[in-house]
């Protein structure tokens, strides 16, 4: 029930790992073994491109994960700015790997504008109102990892009076929503393998042609000198396999996700009349619920459910365990108390309905236990 933290390995990826081909040698080597590895990497790159509807006028660069991809994207437009650092506009709902990378640039003279809104109709106009002739980059995630809100990234490019680079974090959207590189109107797009059923430790940044080639990591010719370092061949191949599954099965899997999510929402609403569901945008991911359970600390509920083999989270996995409440919920106007009492449920769509039903029952019974047996 924590798919947004990590989807888990797809059966197709597990099959690949059980039958790993011999070699997997350094793909930069010119001998036969190296070229076999190179072919595997390029096949995976092609599969990811096909899953994005084709990457016309762009390049897929493999990274160690979406955190690196986001850091690379945020820093790229400012890498050679010198004293003319310029401005960066991000939404208040971004993943920490975007927010912290952005705020770190302030030490280099970059002016960072973090824009929020508590109405879905206000967000895009608010972001655009902060774009000036000095804005070099605008970053807005396509789908929020905590609430499941989907934002209208495709409206940004045409509406910008000026022409900044646009980056979107598509980590949670990939595999759950129709995602087409050529219609998003962005210059950079971040992805992660383990959010769609591949191995952890590999991600990708899709870059539009014409961007300044300022590598985040130097020291080798890999990834056409966009990102040095010997490639994680096994991880990259798993990414390609998972991307092919996205292309082949996304629609049917998304329907199953929506069915499971809807059941959980109905059941919790019927059994716990005071729960509320945090939503912001009119369009949501098919698998994600952010639930306020009044009177129950979210971290305590996560631990109690873990003892029953039900895995949920109290926010972004990379932020779990921190004492601070969710910055996303605070930005949506929720109180600190509400934020600390809110959990995230995110399904894979691969569970059986019997598993979903039993999980929902366990969530309800555990909330009641933690309330001292009081039924809402």
Q: How confident is the model at residue 18 (pLDDT cuts 50, 70, 90)?
A: very high
143 Cβ contact partners less than 8 Å away, ≥ 6 residues apart: 149, 150, 151, 170, 172, 173, 176, 177, 285
What are residue 305's phi and psi, to 5 degrees?
A: -70, -35
Query: 27-31 contacts: CB < 8 A, separation 24 or more?
Result: 27/222, 27/230, 27/231, 27/233, 28/220, 28/221, 28/222, 28/230
Identify the sign of the CA torsion 199, 97, 217, 81: positive
**Which residue range forms the structural domain that includes residue 299?**
249-370
> How confident is the model at residue 191, as a pLDDT?
98
Task: From 224, 245, 266, give the residue that closes a domain.
Answer: 245
For range 226-241, the mean pLDDT: 95
Which of 81, 160, 170, 318 is catalytic? The answer is 318
State which H helix or E strand residue 128 sits in.
helix 120-129
Model confidence at 317: pLDDT above 70: no
Average pLDDT over residues 138-152: 96
- Please state the rounded mean pLDDT for residues 275-279: 96
Same domain membership, residue 171 and residue 236: yes
62-76, 166-180, 309-323 — which is least confidently predicted? 309-323
Write down the pLDDT at residue 13.
97
C-alpha angle 101-48-31 in degrees, rounded to nearest 5: 100
Average pLDDT over residues 319-341: 85
Q: Which of 24-33, 120-129, 349-358 has the lowest mean pLDDT?
A: 24-33
Same domain, 218 and 269: no
Residue 1 located in a structural domain: no
Q: Are 339 and 331 in contact (CB under 8 A)?
A: no
Question: Which CATH number is 279's domain given?
Answer: 3.90.1150.10
| One domain, residues 237 and 257 | no
If asked whether residues 190 and 70 sit together in one domain, one would say: yes
Distance CA 26, CA 189 (A): 27
Both 201 and 337 in one domain: the answer is no
Q: Kindly state whether residues 260 and 120 are assigned to the same domain.
A: no
Which residue matches tokens 């019974």? 365
pLDDT grade for 86, boundaries at 50, 70 and 90 = very high
pLDDT at 82: 55
Q: Is residue 360 part of a domain?
A: yes
Average pLDDT of the chain is: 93
Q: How confident is the model at residue 372 (pLDDT cuts 50, 70, 90)?
A: confident
The band of 374, judged by pLDDT with boundaries at 50, 70 and 90, is low
Statement: residue 224 has pLDDT above 80: yes
Q: Is 152 contained in some domain?
A: yes
pLDDT tens readout for residues 36-84: 989 999 999 999 999 999 998 999 999 999 999 999 999 999 986 655 6
Q: Does residue 232 form part of some domain?
A: yes
CB within 8 A of 242, min separation 6: which ones?
Answer: 10, 12, 13, 175, 193, 196, 197, 198
- 106 and 196 housed in the same domain: yes
Q: How far is CA 89 from the centre of its chain?
A: 19
* Distance set, CA 370 to CA 221, 300, 302, 320 (Å): 56, 9, 12, 20
Domain count, the chain: 2
Using only C-alpha atoms, what is the Rg of the chain?
Answer: 21
Percent residues over pLDDT 90 in the chain: 82
Whether residue 253 sits in one domain with residue 138: no
Between 126 and 163, the more confident residue is 126
What percentage of the chain has pLDDT greater than the value 70?
95
Evaluate whether residue 2 is within a structural domain: no
- State whether 166 and 93 are in the same domain: yes
Identify whether 375 is part of a domain.
no
Provide mean pLDDT across the span 150-166.
90
CATH code, domain carrying 113: 3.40.640.10
> Do 260 and 236 reside in the same domain of the chain?
no
Which pLDDT belongs to residue 316?
54
Q: Known catalytic residue: 170? A: no
Q: Identify whether 90 is part of a domain.
A: yes
182: three-class secondary structure by DSSP:
helix
Query: Taking a C-beta distance cutoff of 8 angstroms, is the pair 333, 117 a contact?
Result: no
pLDDT for 11 beyond 70:
yes
Give yes or no for residue 359 having a pLDDT over 90.
yes
Whether residue 319 is predicted with pLDDT greater than 70 in this model: the reply is no
The stretch 298-317 carries a mean pLDDT of 90
Helices (H) and strands (E) in the chain, counts: 12, 10
Kindly state whether residues 212 and 289 are assigned to the same domain. no
Say yes or no: 258 and 221 in one domain: no
Which of 209, 226, 245 is where one domain is finished?
245
Measured CA to CA in angstroms, residue 37 lies from 33, 63, 153, 261 at distances of 7, 17, 36, 40
227, 245, 263 — which closes off a domain? 245
354: left (phi over 0), alpha (psi -120 to 50) or beta: alpha
**pLDDT at residue 10 is higher than 80:** yes
In a domain, 6, yes or no: no
> For residue 203, what are the β-bridge partners?
63, 192
């Amino acid at each position: 029930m924590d798919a947004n933290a990590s989807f888990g390995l797809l059966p197709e990826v597990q099959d690949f790992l059980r039958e790993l081909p011999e070699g997997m040698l350094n793909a930069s080597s010119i001998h036969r073994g190296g070229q076999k590895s190179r072919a595997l990497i390029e096949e995976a790159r092609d599969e990811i491109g096909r899953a994005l509807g084709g990457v016309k006028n762009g390049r897929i660069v493999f990274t160690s994960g979406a955190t690196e991809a986001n850091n690379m994207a945020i820093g790229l437009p400012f890498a050679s700015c010198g004293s003319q650092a310029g401005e960066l506009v991000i939404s208040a709902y971004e993943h920490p790997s975007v927010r912290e990378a952005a705020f770190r640039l302030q030490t280099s003279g970059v002016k960072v504008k973090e824009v929020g809104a508590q109405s879905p109709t206000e967000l895009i106009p608010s972001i655009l109102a902060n774009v000036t002739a000095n804005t070099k980059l605008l970053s807005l995630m396509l789908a929020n990892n905590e609430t499941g809100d989907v934002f209208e990234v495709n409206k940004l490019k045409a509406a910008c009076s000026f022409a900044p680079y646009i980056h979107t974090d598509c980590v949670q959207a990939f595999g759950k929503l129709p995602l087409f590189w050529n219609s998003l109107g962005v210059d950079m797009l971040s992805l992660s393998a383990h959010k769609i059923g591949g191995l952890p430790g590999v991600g990708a940044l899709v870059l539009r042609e014409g961007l300044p080639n300022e590598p985040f990591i130097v020291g080798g010719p890999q990834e056409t000198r966009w990102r040095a370092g010997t490639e994680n061949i096994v991880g990259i191949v798993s990414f390609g396999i998972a991307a092919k599954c996205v292309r082949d099965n996304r629609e049917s899997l998304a329907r199953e996700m929506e069915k499971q999510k809807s059941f959980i929402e109905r059941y919790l609403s019927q059994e716990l009349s005071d729960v509320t569901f945090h939503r912001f945008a009119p369009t949501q991911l098919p698998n994600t619920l952010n639930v306020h359970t009044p009177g129950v600390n979210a971290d305590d509920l996560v631990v109690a459910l873990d003892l029953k083999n039900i895995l949920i989270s109290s926010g972004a996995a990379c932020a779990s365990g921190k004492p601070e409440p969710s910055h996303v919920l605070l930005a949506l106007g929720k109180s600190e108390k509400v934020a600390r009492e809110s959990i995230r449920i995110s399904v894979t769509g691969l569970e059986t309905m019997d598993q979903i039903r039993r999980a929902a029952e366990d969530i309800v019974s555990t909330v009641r236990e933690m309330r001292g047996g009081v039924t809402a």
